[in-house]
Structure 1
């Protein structure tokens, strides 16, 4: 019987459970966008769910030019950066099929869904100045964040505070021509109205030939806080967010083993001549409203977005204009102190007008094809939570539908017309947790994953429309254990097995174009451990953080072109990853942070005969806080190891696997708060 059927049986026949409910469960459930403290207590949530929160200090500790160091602290998460500005997020192997951007991982920024209806998320639209906190959920979520099979990422900006003026000003410089500047201004418009403006600018010449990068972001937040009504107990707040991004970065391309060994700083031949690069102008507007009255709470969001995309590549030239809009709402109602129910839904719409040209001389040549594409994602979800004497039961179910309509108005081969593609899916998740005592807690969960093809997987760069591509579907069994001693020591252990059907894998054709196919069944076994220990709370303060991930991902059944890859390791996943982070704070404002990351060798193709070498990544930050000023010096890759933060998987021709990372590099700067 499918998990969804089990869920609905339990949801509509809760009587046999209601008599056993005693304790509140309101503080134990993950929330996509709710900011109310009644709805989520992170410390308690860690004990029963594979969720980890990264605060701004942890994100920016070593290098706030990228999220790589902060995100990779989370076991089971691999944040990839194949070139400056080219990001991917891999949660438990869930984004291995992405040639660029983020896929199969829903991302929300201040409650606003980021990305397109099909799941493509250009995370590089955001600068570190736009993010104050990250929450990472690992494993199928039950669909309350939409289709996805590996987790979700929730990005948040702090609400403007009452203090006025300029703050959070930073200037940073470093190796490879790095320059970064950011700042923040807050002003009061009225008694309950605050306006905050943030800006961030960053540029670098890049650590490889043809790898320059620049990004400008402008963010404004208008915060309107409703006046609490003592008569009816109602509170509310509204935030209007606006974000503009101008992004330009060059694509050096992948290297074959011989080129990688000879000179890892070189670009792929032809990349500079054809000006392989990406250029974006993006505007995002979002209105987020939170209201709470007695036992009922609601958070609703509406948004609109548009971007212009210009992308010359080695073999073609791509231009697109995109318009999108959507809405999301979530209601929660506490029937009593013992149990709660909720429901919500989301709608995303998008229109894209795109042309693909020849690229004879780094400019658009003859037109290959032109498409008008309409995309729509709609999903609804329900949830219920119960508790009794330390036991908690959390159930979530969702149904979703995704549709693409591609109207090919011109094609050089004469094949024009309308192509429709639609997929639907229903998923559910059930989690049972037990608070054993003040220190120990355990949970077991069973969940389903459903991940349809993204638009860039259905409609690929060379013009094909893959109507035979099937959604990924899978079942996840997971056990969580949490141990806490006040705030001095926190330990979380997650063990899971995820069985995926119709797994989508990527490969490259003879031109280097990324294509996609279903790869049969896979089995993904994993173990994640994270521990945070405050060794000494008085000066000198000493803190130790460590995380470890073990992954055993393999093809259960996969045959391609007459070759059987069953039993082979899935490319792109390191079997072992270890992080060790030691921090100390001395009197007088002096501080030091040392981080060591070990990543095991990574198979780069289905045959498992090419590997990315294992490496040790060492980072160090030294600084001094004096008053409101923070002076710092950071070093990355201090061992000067040859490595890659993201590789190209399964290139069919040319063996261009490797995207080299920077060698030893330094940054220094000053920050004013």
Structure 2
């Protein structure tokens, strides 16, 4: 970290004036917070499925006493005054996290943490996702956030920094959602919301507990919802249905938890716009998606079981297993000329059947040792996915009687498997003033492809990735309300099966020359808390070699290669401070992400695409006395996103922008009934902006327009029983 500090300091000297003001406000809030009295710490919540390795927990005290960087967003914050459709709605207050709604439900959200995951053109990669301890990321590192049950979320934890590597390969960060547990009294909620472009959402949740207060039975939490939208542009309509259930029951010395999740979705795909199209009319859709009727349908079902049991003398065993099935059919806009007579072409229709399962078995010891609290664990985590992948031409017939956007001739038929089997250990020792912790995980990943479409030759093959991921950290309590922390560790990012599917130049068969990228990450910071608020300031430095980068697209086949070294250096500030009936929240991120050693295609010093150098969120919430009878809270939000380059060559960029939103929410309680209402206006000034970019798009259609001024409103009714 010493070598990065002067460089970071030089770059901070060039920050613009509004940004310096934002940093100053954040630090002022921190200093005000420092003078207050520490709050009472809530007790830990139990019953969650065990994640692969615990670096945070539901206990605020454990997060305060740990050396990992973990931000927690409460479930009520995620839902309050929001549409409750996208994960991006409630996580803007987390520094270091870039999460954008593409306004394209065929491609999921764009998510990156400290630069990891930014290259993804669809879905989430480089960032691990978990719901109640069950991975929402496949063993190859690809994942989806669409099945996160926001309506029943108890909290979301966002893990950043070196300790995220303990979640396995391709975990430059981790996002963990825990659903609420049923209890007494029970609750039944039903809500409806509506927004611009024909958007609507209906959801209902039920929580409770069987048995009696003296002899409780199963705790349950059920969540069912559906949403639909006509879309902001032509060819962008979508609808999605979800169901999530959780059952848990305590037994002597332990707990059993079961979870079930079902999702089905359909979305048209408007794709991106070229620079000319974007400048002419950002609300248009290019001709190709309309010609080919680009679209995607998804269905996914999964279930999990967790069981833990205390063995005495501080020993405990924790077991978790899960299994699921995912089906995807996607029609792309690849022209027939790029398929007809092209050896190795996989066509323009993706037909994927995925079966997956996994487990985590862990022994844990918690006891007092040498005047402190020792937490020692060791375990084995394994995951496996089997993809039956078929590709078809997206046309039938010959000109002039050719029909586009339909299922045509089979062009790909193979089975892809990704398997991981990772042993790990973790230890933490805490005293009042100090915490020392560390861990080690050995990543073992294997990809195998078995080709059943042999007319183009046998493209079967296999590749392995492995590596040790050590991490150590420490926390030092400087004063009762102030502490310093630091950590350092190594990470490993494997290519996804999609990224390894083609060799450079588009040749079919696994790209055995593509290596995993390896990184060394370090961070140091200060954090404080009090009865009025909390704050955090962190500086980080990440050095990566063999960064995975685009090698171009040939006839619709994208290939990847290793692009030398990269550096990511940054600063994260966040604070929340309340006085009287006003609460101010802010989060600021500065990220300098550059390619180091240049390659034939990427000059050294180029900025990594998909990443704003600066990002700021600020919110003021006001609860005036005149609205106290209806529980009124009024909010003003500001979100600034800096310029974002669209490709490795830095040949074009989406301009930076600042968006303002205003909202109001109300709550009234009468006996066992509670009503909640909200109304908000996003992008108050109707700012033209790119909501996200499609990084390194082979057709140079990089730009995905964000929403203009839009109104949304909703109402929810809760009944306790």
TM-score w.r.t. length of structure 2: 0.83
Q: Distance in 2 between matches of 1:335 and 1:65?
A: 42
Determine the structure 2 residue equivalent to 1:352.
Answer: 387
Q: Distance in 1 between matches of 2:709 and 2:689?
A: 11
Is residue 617 from structure 1 mapped to residue 659 from structure 2 by the alignment? yes
The one of 615, 619, 622 aligned to 1:581: 619
SS in 1 for 2:151: helix
Q: Distance in 2 between matches of 1:638 and 1:245?
A: 33
Determine the structure 1 residue equivalent to 2:600.
Answer: 560
Determine the structure 2 residue equivalent to 1:6.
Answer: none
- Mark the CA change 1:327 to 1:262 in structure 2 (over 3 Å): closer, same or farther: same
Determine the structure 1 residue equivalent to 2:560.
Answer: 516
The one of 420, 436, 455 aligned to 2:478: 436
Determine the structure 2 residue equivalent to 1:669.
Answer: 714
Is residue 644 from structure 1 mapped to residue 666 from structure 2 by the alignment? no
Is residue 319 from structure 1 mapped to residue 319 from structure 2 by the alignment? no
Q: Distance in 2 between matches of 1:335 and 1:286?
A: 29
Determine the structure 1 residue equivalent to 2:547.
Answer: 503
Determine the structure 1 residue equivalent to 2:242.
Answer: 217
Q: Distance in 1 between matches of 2:134 and 2:167?
A: 11
Is the 1:641–1:663 contact (alpha carbons within 8 Å) kept by the matching residues of 2?
yes
The one of 227, 230, 238 aligned to 1:205: 230
Aligned-pair RMSD on alpha carbons? Answer: 2.4
Which 5+ residue runs of structure 1 have no aligned equivalent? 1-25, 229-233
- Mark the CA change 1:626 to 1:439 in structure 2 (over 3 Å): closer, same or farther: same
- Mark the CA change 1:642 to 1:297 in structure 2 (over 3 Å): closer, same or farther: farther
Question: What is the deviation of 1:59?
Answer: 1.5
Which residues in structure 2 correspond to 1:141-290 (within 5 Å)? 141=163, 143-164=165-186, 167-186=188-207, 188-190=209-211, 191-226=216-251, 228=252, 234=253, 236-290=254-308
Q: Distance in 1 between matches of 2:498 and 2:323?
A: 21
Question: What is the deviation of 1:334?
Answer: 2.3
Determine the structure 2 residue equivalent to 1:488.
Answer: 532
Is residue 597 from structure 1 mapped to residue 639 from structure 2 by the alignment? yes
- Mark the CA change 1:416 to 1:444 in structure 2 (over 3 Å): closer, same or farther: same
Q: Distance in 2 between matches of 1:309 and 1:651?
A: 22
Is the 1:440–1:482 contact (alpha carbons within 8 Å) kept by the matching residues of 2?
yes
Question: What is the deviation of 1:297?
Answer: 3.4
- Mark the CA change 1:46 to 1:335 in structure 2 (over 3 Å): closer, same or farther: closer
Determine the structure 2 residue equivalent to 1:551.
Answer: 591
Determine the structure 1 residue equivalent to 2:22.
Answer: none
Question: What is the deviation of 1:388?
Answer: 5.0
Determine the structure 1 residue equivalent to 2:9.
Answer: none
- Mark the CA change 1:497 to 1:40 in structure 2 (over 3 Å): closer, same or farther: same
- Mark the CA change 1:506 to 1:83 in structure 2 (over 3 Å): closer, same or farther: farther
Determine the structure 1 residue equivalent to 2:68.
Answer: 49
Is the 1:142–1:448 contact (alpha carbons within 8 Å) kept by the matching residues of 2?
no
Q: Deviations over 1:490-549 (max 9, x none)?
A: 11011011000111123652555543221110011010000010122xxxx211101100
Question: What is the deviation of 1:32?
Answer: 6.2
The one of 58, 82, 90 aligned to 1:70: 90
- Mark the CA change 1:268 to 1:329 in structure 2 (over 3 Å): closer, same or farther: farther
Is the 1:143–1:381 contact (alpha carbons within 8 Å) kept by the matching residues of 2?
no
Moved more, 51-60 or 171-180: 51-60
Determine the structure 2 residue equivalent to 1:392.
Answer: 435
Which residues in structure 2 correspond to 1:331-410 (within 5 Å)? 331-337=363-369, 338=372, 339-360=374-395, 361-387=404-430, 390-410=433-453
Is residue 534 from structure 1 mapped to residue 578 from structure 2 by the alignment? yes
Is the 2:305–2:322 contact (alpha carbons within 8 Å) kept by the matching residues of 1?
yes
TM-score w.r.t. length of structure 1: 0.89
Determine the structure 1 residue equivalent to 2:400.
Answer: none
Determine the structure 1 residue equivalent to 2:681.
Answer: 635
Question: What is the deviation of 1:583?
Answer: 0.9
Q: Distance in 1 between matches of 2:638 and 2:88?
A: 14
SS in 2 for 1:560: coil
Question: What is the deviation of 1:475?
Answer: 0.6
Moved more, 138-147 or 248-257: 138-147
Question: What is the deviation of 1:115?
Answer: 2.5
Is the 1:405–1:420 contact (alpha carbons within 8 Å) kept by the matching residues of 2?
yes
Determine the structure 1 residue equivalent to 2:318.
Answer: 299
Is the 2:149–2:179 contact (alpha carbons within 8 Å) kept by the matching residues of 1?
no
Question: What is the deviation of 1:43?
Answer: 4.8
